Structure 1
Amino acid sequence: MKELSREVMESSSCPHLDQDSRPCKAVDSLRVNINNNVFTVDKTIIVKNCEYFRALFQSGMRECREEEIQLRCVGVLGFLVLLQVLRGEQPMLNSDQIVEAIECTAFLQVPALTKHLINIINSENSLLVYHTAATYGVWELFHQAALFIRDMYADLKEDVHTLPSKLVEYIESLLPSSYMAVCSHSPSSELMQDSQRTVCYLDEEHREWRVLTHLPVSTSTTMAGVAVHDNKLYIIGGVHDVSKKVMETGFCYDPAVNTWSTICGPQQLRYNFTLIGHEDCLYAVGGEYNMKVLSSVEQYRLSDGSWSFVSALPCPAASVVSAVAMNKMFICLWKRKGATDIYEYVPEHSQWCLVTTLIRQHSYGLYMVAHRDNLYVMRNGPHDDFLMCVMDCYNLSSGQWSALSGQYGNSKGSLFTAVVRGDSVFTLSRHVTTEYNVEDYRWRLKREMKGFGRIGSIYTFLMRLPVSSVSLMGKGPTEEQALRDLSVCPRLSLQCSHNL
């Protein structure tokens, strides 16, 4: 019998969190036998993370008192992946590992493994993940793979139609993500409505920007926090005018019912801050108030509508650059002298942990997006050339930085508003909207569409838009049409309700 010593230890991106002066506690180990391969694991960790083992050891059955458990419905490859994930690793998997990992999470019921499989879906493995998840009944993974395929449908259509018809029908029943944009606007009034206060979406078929909805008159997107979470658009804070009086009420747009509602703002009034949606929360990060830069961070729990303070930033910061990768939240903090620190927020410990530092002379991070286990940091070009931007990529799995070849002009197409959808990245400027294919060490130009003809700060994001939210005819007005006639989206249709 072959023994593989694979002890699972609790891990964290902040190793010092678990260090103290107390002696180490002895590990309560368990041997797991799979096809005569024996794995020694931490019983506490495996019971905590696997529903199968939790139920087994609560059942009182004879097996729960034995030192070795036989698993007959799980393969060695899948269990090895499970152990890696429980150690806090983020392994990239080949086809055989994917199939066995799905089988493993189906049999052992491991949410952490299911979440990891969702995080690594890409164009090459999405059909395999989708079909295998359907076979084993891992429905959360099945649905997320279907959403990925729906977003990449134009590229994957030929291969999709090799799937069973029922699986094809499910994919085609889903709503694709739309590339969205809204500009920086101050509050308006009922008598003097600003016709440009609109939320727009990209009609990719016609390569046009169209109006989805108008902002409620009391909403400000100037120096506001803007984020999409659970397919709802949140606009928090913002200022009234040059006096920088802060809006105390936030707004939420739900495209499923085409309505706006209000939510309470953070306890600390703030503007020029970053709003991040992650898990069941929104995070208001840093910002300014009364001309003072803030380090405080607040968490808004969507489940109960409450704000609370969490761990502050390592230093005061406004306009913090952020991204969510591999289901983890990251931010960039500029240290001057060309150094940019990347921190991860660990909700379990309410702590910001330094991940890495990028050092580039005469440069600082301007924007960051995530694709799989890569963080792409866009920064100003050499010699303070702000009409150019260059990119560096940090791989979370390897812990290595790499510089992407090529420079991307800000005069024609800007990367400072990049949004990732599937294996594509959308960017825009006044002159052109550009879609890139994300490849290993470069972004390859895929297509260009009409630009977003506005000036000033632009917020971009993705949302899934029901046809009823766009128009009864299935197509919204073009931006030009809406600006000529504000009545295409009458105020009465914005059914504002209070959720306070």
Structure 2
Amino acid sequence: MDIVKVRIGDSVFEAKKSLLLRECEYFRALYRSGMVECHQEEIHVKDLHAQGFLIMLAVAGGERPTLNDDEILEAIECAAFFQAEPLAKHLQDLLSSDNCLLMYQASATYGLWRLHERSAKFIRDIYADLRKELKDLPQDLIEYVESQVPRAFVAVGSHTSCTADELPLAATRTVCYLEEDDRDWKVLTALPMEASTSLAGVTVLDNRLYIVGGVHGVDKRAVDASFCYDVVADTWKFLPGPRQPRYNLTLIGLEGCLYAIGGESSRTTMSSVEKYNVSTKEWSFTAHLPRPVAGVACAKAMSRIFVCLWKPMETNEIYEYIPHQDAWVLVSKLLKHQSYGHCMVAHKDNLYVIRNGPQDDFLRCLIDCYNIATGQWTSMPGHYGNSKGALFTSVVRGDSVFTLNRTMTLEYTVAGNMWKPRNQMKGFPRNGSVWTFLLRIPNERKSVVMS
């Protein structure tokens, strides 16, 4: 019989045995052991909260519930006791400025160490905002947070590949980071000669920078190699390029894989998507997008990949990629005048679609917010300045949105249904398009001032 009864306190739950074996190391070990408990009509679990087990079953069944503080505590207890990795991952996705201290302490108490580490890194990223609250933690927990490296705001300009003869003239082919204390940009590394960031796919996965595709020269010959930068070792590696060389693609990383989405090849727009498995170093085709697209707006929220496709004349469509189904699923539509979404970023369980303003006014953007938990759209009031495409470089860290152009770096705070300007720093003095992302840079690497 595939149905198992589990008694926790006064509550009895019925669950599929196959589901419990798949989701929980506790039950796998129990049934491997042949202990008498696994032959009983009911499995009794003591000193555990029923609500945590109910949340675990919901996550195992594919749900992604939002949790209040009490539910978070019981879910952490349950995830640690049953060694339920899917629940532990869901808790990591729920990390926010509102609950990170709670998760950090509770994960230390129950020994949920991946969540503990992730919480510490999250807190370190927003350390200045939590300085007062951190003082209430035990000293060892404070020291562990302070031992972490915060993510830095990093940028690279749009550069084609170059030859050895051209290299002395290519001093600007550098990846730079913003030193927020000094409010200035500093050099992190130089691009390899063979790498092109012009119309390339650029993303960060597991604190490594990846550059895929791009073009050589004015005739837009696609770069058929990929490049990976290890910020800790300060080394670049060549990687194989996608099976279909492409440029003007969108690149995003999830669960040890890179996804090269759409783009162009020989001036033809494509709907194909390829996945690069970092561990096997192999590319493979996945489900195609619903239609060809280049430079598509894309974001990762709650460990889920979303793209924003435009459908003439007034419609943005949000699609989600479902890895285990290998399918793109329509999630929602935004029907509005001047609706073309140029950029999309995620904060918590919200997707922010940044679109052109009235009469194709790119200098005054409109922003709409889609909540993936409730399925509701809201419009952020007013217009947002987009001088020289700053908003299209948006990157989220904690509750901050960093935007960038040649004139200035502007940091917003996400507050309710508004982005409020918080901090202004030096701009990034490079011509052309700019790629922005976040990296954890070891302290010993931070030294060279940008010229």
- One fold, TM greater than 0.5? yes
Q: Provide the secondary structure at the position in 2 that maps to 1:416.
A: helix
% same residue: 51
Instruction: Give the deviation of 1:160 after TM superposition.
Output: 1.2
For residues 24-72 of structure 1, the C-alpha deviation after alignment (integer angstroms, 9 at most, x for no partner) is xxx9322222211122223222221111122222322222123322221
Q: Which residue of 1 aligns with 2:73?
A: 99
- Deviating more after overlay: 40-49 vs 249-258: 40-49
Q: Which residue of 1 aligns with 2:139?
A: 165
- Deviating more after overlay: 183-192 vs 281-290: 183-192
- Deviating more after overlay: 445-454 vs 58-67: 58-67
Change in 2 beyond 3 A, CA 1:201/1:105: same
Change in 2 beyond 3 A, CA 1:67/1:444: farther
**Residue 363 of structure 1 contacts residue 382 of structure 1 at CA under 8 Å; is this kept in 2?**
no
Q: Provide the secondary structure at the position in 2 that maps to 1:101.
A: helix
Q: Which residue of 2 aligns with 1:282?
A: 258
Once residues 82 and 406 of structure 1 are traced to their aligned partners in structure 2, the CA distance between those partners, rounded to angstroms, is 41
For residues 311-358 of structure 1, the C-alpha deviation after alignment (integer angstroms, 9 at most, x for no partner) is 111111111111111111111111111211111111112111111111
Q: Which residue of 2 aligns with 1:148?
A: 122
Q: Which residue of 2 aligns with 1:231?
A: 207
| Correspondence 1:365 to 2:363 | no
Once residues 136 and 323 of structure 2 are traced to their aligned partners in structure 1, the CA distance between those partners, rounded to angstroms, is 42
Q: Provide the secondary structure at the position in 2 that maps to 1:159.
A: helix
- Deviating more after overlay: 220-229 vs 182-191: 182-191
1:446 to 397, 422, 432: 422
**Residue 413 of structure 1 contacts residue 434 of structure 1 at CA under 8 Å; is this kept in 2?**
no
Q: Which residue of 1 aligns with 2:165?
A: 191
For residues 117-165 of structure 1, the C-alpha deviation after alignment (integer angstroms, 9 at most, x for no partner) is 1111111211111011011110000000000000000111121122111
**Residue 78 of structure 1 contacts residue 97 of structure 1 at CA under 8 Å; is this kept in 2?**
yes
2:410 to 434, 446, 462: 434
1:474-485 to 2 correspondences below 5 Å = 475-477=447-449, 479=450, 481=451
**Residue 90 of structure 1 contacts residue 116 of structure 1 at CA under 8 Å; is this kept in 2?**
yes
The AA in structure 1 aligned to 2:387 is S
Q: Structure 1 stretches of 5 or more lacking a match?
A: 1-26, 482-500
Relative to the length of structure 2, the TM-score reads: 0.96
RMSD, aligned α-carbons: 1.4
The AA in structure 2 aligned to 1:316 is P
Q: How many residues align?
A: 449
| Correspondence 1:212 to 2:184 | no
For residues 253-280 of structure 1, the C-alpha deviation after alignment (integer angstroms, 9 at most, x for no partner) is 1111111111110110111111111111
**Residue 430 of structure 1 contacts residue 452 of structure 1 at CA under 8 Å; is this kept in 2?**
yes
Q: Structure 2 stretches of 5 or more lacking a match?
A: none
Once residues 197 and 102 of structure 1 are traced to their aligned partners in structure 2, the CA distance between those partners, rounded to angstroms, is 46
| Correspondence 1:64 to 2:38 | yes
Q: Which residue of 1 aligns with 2:307?
A: 331
For residues 72-100 of structure 1, the C-alpha deviation after alignment (integer angstroms, 9 at most, x for no partner) is 13202212221222232222222211111
Q: Provide the secondary structure at the position in 1 that maps to 2:238.
A: strand
Instruction: Give the deviation of 1:412 after TM superposition.
Output: 7.1
Q: Which residue of 2 aligns with 1:30?
A: 4
For residues 184-224 of structure 1, the C-alpha deviation after alignment (integer angstroms, 9 at most, x for no partner) is 11112222221111111001001111111111122111111
**Residue 92 of structure 2 contacts residue 118 of structure 2 at CA under 8 Å; is this kept in 1?**
yes
Q: Provide the secondary structure at the position in 1 that maps to 2:421.
A: strand
**Residue 363 of structure 1 contacts residue 384 of structure 1 at CA under 8 Å; is this kept in 2?**
no
Once residues 292 and 221 of structure 1 are traced to their aligned partners in structure 2, the CA distance between those partners, rounded to angstroms, is 19
Once residues 358 and 44 of structure 2 are traced to their aligned partners in structure 1, the CA distance between those partners, rounded to angstroms, is 60
Q: Which residue of 2 aligns with 1:131?
A: 105
The AA in structure 2 aligned to 1:398 is T
Instruction: Give the deviation of 1:413 after TM superposition.
Output: 7.4
Instruction: Give the deviation of 1:429 after TM superposition.
Output: 1.7
The AA in structure 2 aligned to 1:460 is T
